[in-house]
Amino acid sequence: MNEEQLRRRRRLRRQQQRKRRRRIFYILCILFLVIIFTILRGIVAHFSRTSNHAQANVALWYIQQLDREKSGDPDRSNVFYSSIEELSNIARDKLTAFNFTLAKNSNHIQAAEKYAYSTKKIREITEGKLDYTGKKIAFLTFDDGPNNTITPQVLDTLKDRQVPATFFLVGRNLGSKHEDTLRRILREGHGIAMHSLSHDYSKLYPGRFGNADRIRYEAQETQKLLKEFFGPDFHSSVWRYPGGHQSWKELGSSDDALAKLGVQWIDWNCLVGDAQPKSDRPTTSEGQVQYVHKSLKLNKQTRIAVVLAHDAENKQLTADSVNKLIDYFKDNGYEFGILK
């Protein structure tokens, strides 16, 4: 074998080695891609499972309600439904029916659309920025719920009188123990509004000045909790600042931050006085109605009434007054609406 042949053979061997290394490199690349793809698919599957779970949860509740209604026994326990997973197929069918009733991207069911009014418009009317000569509309609003003591009593009266209201819920109250009450609010045709996550003045308004970052965060978190209950089609555009917009300084950038989230704030133009200082707080239902009457009369525009009341756990008097409050507005020619 001469020198030339030896060189050629070595070159050939080097080429083969290079080829082999390239092949290994390609195989490793493919393996790497397969691993990445598998991981990504796992992540996506996890999130869609979580959202399916939330949806199935809503549907499960819906089936349970139908079951209770059919049996006529409100306390009927759900012995058949041992696990959400087991039910998921039926649940998803039923969920379609449930979603059908939720107006898309809104805080109310479709049936409530005919008496749902734009929060921004109603706010501007009460502020005197918009003229209004239309029909008289009362917006009953209840802050600080939900709970399982006062809220259900308020709901019972509203249902009895076929009157809708708007509930300004505090995010920290949206735990599973209030689920039934929460779903009743939506299902019985009321509007769901946000009243912060913490209701903590020191976090929301340190030194009495609005903290826009904190307020944005609390609105986002509360919205997220509501979506977990009601599914991805739910969105509340309605916000009331704890303590009221009128009570704090420099809320401009907070208002802007909320607007960017598709959320509008609203205060009130009359109140039952159930959160007034003791010396000024009515102690009877008649007193609360009188308080509404007097505070409404202080406005130039009285065709729109946004009524502040509270359904917190210590507001039994307010729950007892709802009937008389409805009488007052009906007697004075008002219809009832919800804020959207």
Enumerate binding residues for Zn ion (CB under 5 A): 143-144, 242
Closest to Zn ion by CB, 143 or 255: 143
**C-alpha distances in angstroms, 24 versus 13, 220, 245, 299, 331?**
17, 49, 67, 81, 86
Least separation in angstroms between CB 201 and Zn ion: 10
Least separation in angstroms between CB 144 and Zn ion: 5
Is residue 217 a contact partner of residue 87, using CB atoms and an 8 Å limit? no
Residue type, 85: E
Closest to Zn ion by CB, 198 or 299: 198
Any residues with CB less than 8 A from the CB of 15 and at least 6 apart, and which?
A: none
Measured at CB, which residue is nearest to Zn ion?
A: 143
Is residue 157 a contact partner of residue 184, using CB atoms and an 8 Å limit? no
Least separation in angstroms between CB 275 and Zn ion: 7
**C-alpha distances in angstroms, 83 versus 27, 57, 79, 125, 229?**
44, 10, 10, 49, 17
- Six token digits for residue 46: 């996890």
Closest to Zn ion by CB, 243 or 287: 243
Closest to Zn ion by CB, 144 or 274: 144
Least separation in angstroms between CB 170 and Zn ion: 7
Among 121, 168, 138, 165, smallest CA distance to 306 is for 138
How many C-beta neighbours within 10 Å does residue 32 have? 10
What does the alpha-carbon distance between residue 206 and residue 183 come to, in Å, rounded to a whole number? 34
Closest to Zn ion by CB, 242 or 282: 242
How many C-beta neighbours within 10 Å does residue 16 have? 10
Least separation in angstroms between CB 324 and Zn ion: 22
Closest to Zn ion by CB, 235 or 310: 310
Least separation in angstroms between CB 198 and Zn ion: 11
Is residue 172 a contact partner of residue 197, using CB atoms and an 8 Å limit? yes
Least separation in angstroms between CB 194 and Zn ion: 11
Closest to Zn ion by CB, 171 or 189: 171
Coil, helix or strand at residue 305: strand
